[in-house]
Amino acid sequence: MPQLTDLLFYAFAGLTLLFGFLCVANPLSRNPVTSAMFLVLTIISMAGLFVLLHAFFLAAVQILVYAGAVMVLFLFVIMLLDLKEEERRKLNAIAVGLGSVAVLGLAGVLLRALIQAKPVIAAGTQPVEGSTKELGRILFQSYLLPFEILSILLLVAMVGVILLSKKELK
Amino acid sequence: MTKVVDRSPLNFYERTYLPALVEGFKVTARHFVRSVKGENTATDLGDGYYPEVPWRVEGGYRGAPYLVRDQEGATKCVSCQLCEFICPPKAIKITPPGPEAGPADRPNAEKMPREFEINMLRCIFCGLCQEVCPEEAIFLQQHYSLSGLSREEMIYNKEKLLKLGGVHAGIQKWKHKLEEAKEQESFPVNVG
Amino acid sequence: MLENLFIDPTFQFVLFSAAKIAVVFGVVMTFVAYAVLVERKVSAFIQDRVGPNRTAPPLALKIPVLGRFLQRCGIFQPMADGLKFILKEDFTPAYVRTIYFWIAPAISVIPAFLTLAVIPFGSTLGKQQMVIADLNVGILYTFGIVSLGVYGIVLAGWASNSKYPFLGGIRSSAQMISYEIAMGMSVVSLFLIVGDLNLSKLIQWQADNGWLVLYQPVAFVIFLVSAFAETNRLPFDLPESETELVGGYHTEYSSMKFALFFLGEYANMIASSAMMVTLFFGGWSLPFLGKPADSLLGGLVHIGIFIAKMIVLMVVFIWVRWMLPRFRYDQLMDLGWRRFIPIALLNIVLTALGVALFNR
């Protein structure tokens, strides 16, 4: 008999894929706002997957940052630009070719990882109880340098945006 | 004499919004306490609240326009239609008597309105009809709260307007004219 | 067979959770209804008016003195209001984006209620902990859910397909994001002091060491003001400012759909009051009542204390609405970005320094 968590995993995974698909290629509506809303739903279902992995912190941050802030800004921009229904563009041979190469490559990498993967939980390790303390310790002790580099990257991006959005440069 | 308004920039304390908060709280608290204690003069109408006890309206108040009669009970309006022409929202509609109508119900008046309607849904109580009336036959009176259950009901006809308007205690223009005319014997007036 | 079922811990958990959810939902709905009444009465008193004093079912008037008194207090007004919302024509304008127009009110209500799930509104009652979900990341959950609340308003504005609601929606999305940041940063300093994200533990810490508002007054002020902005209450009610935008994002809504927005606003108000009680005013604890209750009566007293504190904060919300004029939009953004965020950051740094100096 399947466990409840297994059922939930399949439910959330299925929803994530479904919403993701509807976000990219919705057969019913080509409206950008609809796509954005499906992206929000994708993010929320992914947060559900994180909860199943006992990563409560990641789940909360996922919703807080992506669904709550980033996507609202997306929506803001879409509405301000007043995008009409996107037109169906003609398929570009080069784009299709490059796109399928990229997709196939990614799929290959994923498949290889799946085949080589060994069940981890079976080894008897206790799932980490999504402790924020643990996460903080790992981030600020083992991975301090990458973390700080990422912060600086974000800062650089921010300064760049401010510089670009200023009309007159002196 | 010019008064220079002080528009100096806000100082730091004022920019924290604190003085505004304190002032706002003081004002609202004062009114709140007064209302709770029942010492509020704005809502206190003696023995009840508004719909049961209507507001007392001061003498100069200008409410809905009604037609008035003179002291002898005659309609003052002579159907000149000036009010109809000046009425900004076109609320007034006068039906003149026409050639086949009988004589007026009072001496010395040529004609009277056959029908006089004011659509109270349109009327804005501006008082231009009262200003323009040469006969002083229409006055803005004290009613301020008109209500009805249908649109038709809100169109007041001549009878209703005269009933609501009552008798005007002012000048009887045509009576005085008549007296003046009687004094002037040479003036040929046929008094019926 | 049945006895086994009742001993089964999973079943017990489900049963008690369902009971708690039902009770909390009922209490919050009642609170919403009467918060509206209090708002109307307080505003009436402040503006030298009388407020609702007529509605009463005929039977209630038969009670000798009390009936009349309750009528004058407007106790029966919420029932009439609710009935009116249900019975009014639910009008959908012709050029709206129908699907979004229908789901937007629901989206604006759901987050407000979900937030209440992690708030410990009492210590214990019997053996049950008086919180629906005792999450380890309680506060983050709250912020996550609150941040979703903006979708209801933005979508309502966009779906209405009309100028004023659209402006309201745009304003709201910018405003909510700005103040969420200040709000989140103001709370960080609390958790630096307490050292745990769990709200129940936060309250226990306050019961032992004193209310956090005494340690972090600056954080409290920032949180309070941001809460006003997040709930669209008056000094910051730009998304629905009647004088400029007709009714803002809910201009095109009527009947029950409008009622849902209304409900959402007041439920948000309740949620943020409860949040502030939990974070800054010691939750269910009083300075001399800090132990989790061991008796049924004690548990009830704790719930009463929590609700009393919450009511005080809600009156603050209501009072401020009639006290202050609306901010201009640039002033609002200026306050959020150029004052609160730097102050909150400074507060975090100073608190961290303080914690490092005194705790080690």
State pLDDT tens for residues C146-174: 888 888 888 888 888 888 888 888 888 88
Same domain, B40 and B71: no
Chain C nearest C-alpha distance from B146 (Å):
21
CB contact under 8 A, B31 and C49: no
Over 70: is that where the pLDDT of C190 sits? yes
Same domain, B38 and B116: no
CB contact under 8 A, A64 and C140: yes
Q: C-alpha angle A27/A31/A33, rounded to 5°?
A: 125
Residue B32 lies in a domain: yes
- Say which residue, A139 or C124, is predicted with more confidence: A139
pLDDT of residue C298: 77
pLDDT of residue B170: 67
Mean pLDDT of B117-130: 91
* Contact of C211 with C281, CB cutoff 8 Å: yes
Does an interface of 3+ CB pairs under 8 Å exist between B and A?
no
Mean pLDDT taken over chain C? 83
- Predicted confidence (pLDDT) per residue in A106-116, tens digit: 999 999 988 88
- Scanning the structure block, which residue is given the tokens 């309070």? C224
pLDDT of residue A156: 94
Is A82 in CB contact (< 8 Å) with chain C?
no
pLDDT of residue A104: 93
CA distance B67 to C28: 57
Mean pLDDT of B24-29: 89
Same domain, B110 and B140: yes
CATH of residue B93's domain is: 3.30.70.3270
Among the listed residues C57, C47, C50, the one whose alpha carbon sits nearest the alpha carbon of residue B51: C50
Alpha helices in chain C (DSSP H): 2-7, 9-46, 58-61, 66-73, 77-87, 98-115, 138-159, 163-194, 199-209, 212-215, 217-230, 242-245, 255-280, 296-321, 329-333, 341-359
Among the listed residues B67, B72, B63, the one whose alpha carbon sits nearest the alpha carbon of residue B135: B67
Percentage above 90 pLDDT, chain C? 1
Over 80: is that where the pLDDT of C72 sits? no
CA distance C227 to C276: 9
Is A72 in CB contact (< 8 Å) with chain C?
yes
pLDDT of residue B121: 92
What is the ipTM score, two decimals? 0.78
- Say which residue, A151 or A60, is predicted with more confidence: A151
Across B24-28, B58-62, C241-245, least confident range: C241-245
Same domain, B158 and B98: yes
- Predicted confidence (pLDDT) per residue in A66-97, tens digit: 888 888 888 888 877 766 655 556 667 888 88
Chain B nearest C-alpha distance from C86 (Å):
24
* Contact of B89 with B188, CB cutoff 8 Å: no
Q: Has this prediction a pTM greater than 0.80?
A: no
Neighbouring CB atoms inside 10 A of A165's CB total 7
Across A53-62, B169-178, C237-246, least confident range: B169-178
Same domain, B25 and B105: no
DSSP-assigned letters across all residues of chain B: -------PPP-HHHHTTHHHHHHHHHHHHHHHHHHHHT--TTT--SSS-TTTSPPP--TT----EEE-B-TTS-B------HHHHH-TT--EEEE---TT----SSTT-----SEEEEETTT-----HHHHH-TT--EEE-S------SSTGGGEE-HHHHHHHH-B--S--HHHHHHHHHHH-TTS-----
Q: Report which secondary-structure segment, H or E, holds C125.
A: strand C124-125
Q: Report which secondary-structure segment, H or E, holds A36.
A: helix A32-52
pLDDT of residue C137: 75
Which pLDDT band, with edges at 50, 70 and 90, does A124 fall under? very low
Over 70: is that where the pLDDT of B45 sits? no
Q: C-alpha angle B6/B10/B11, rounded to 5°?
A: 120
Percentage above 90 pLDDT, chain B? 18
Residue B179 lies in a domain: no
Residue B182 lies in a domain: no
Is C14 in CB contact (< 8 Å) with chain A?
no
CB contact under 8 A, A76 and C173: yes
Among the listed residues B93, B61, B65, B79, the one whose alpha carbon sits nearest the alpha carbon of residue B161: B65
* Contact of C265 with C231, CB cutoff 8 Å: yes
Which pLDDT band, with edges at 50, 70 and 90, does B46 fall under? low
Mean pLDDT taken over chain A? 81
Question: Which of A26, A58, A79 has the most C C-beta neighbours within 10 Å, making it the best mutation to test the interface with C?
Answer: A79
Same domain, B39 and B89: no
Q: State the burial class of residue A39 (Cβ atoms within 10 Å of its Cβ: 0-12, 13-18, 19+).
A: buried
Nearest by CB to A79, from C135, C143, C158: name it: C158
CB contact under 8 A, C45 and B32: yes
CA distance A45 to A49: 7
Neighbouring CB atoms inside 10 A of C333's CB total 15
Among the listed residues A57, A133, A4, the one whose alpha carbon sits nearest the alpha carbon of residue C135: A57
CB contact under 8 A, B28 and C322: yes
Which pLDDT band, with edges at 50, 70 and 90, does B33 fall under? confident
Residue B50 lies in a domain: no
Residue B184 lies in a domain: no
Task: Spell out which residues of chain C touch residue A33, defining contact as CB-CB under 8 Å.
Answer: 100, 158
Q: Which domain holds residue B28?
A: 11-44
Percentage above 90 pLDDT, chain A? 14
Chain A nearest C-alpha distance from C65 (Å):
52
Mean pLDDT of B108-123: 85
- Structural domain spans, chain C: 52-87, 92-359
Over 60: is that where the pLDDT of C12 sits? yes
Task: Spell out which residues of chain B touch residue C324, defining contact as CB-CB under 8 Å.
Answer: 20-21, 24
Does an interface of 3+ CB pairs under 8 Å exist between C and B?
yes
CB contact under 8 A, C45 and B49: no
Nearest by CB to A33, from C143, C158, C173: name it: C158
pLDDT of residue A169: 61
Residue B20 lies in a domain: yes
Chain B nearest C-alpha distance from C173 (Å):
25
Over 80: is that where the pLDDT of C222 sits? yes
> Chain C: residue nearest A62 by CA?
C144
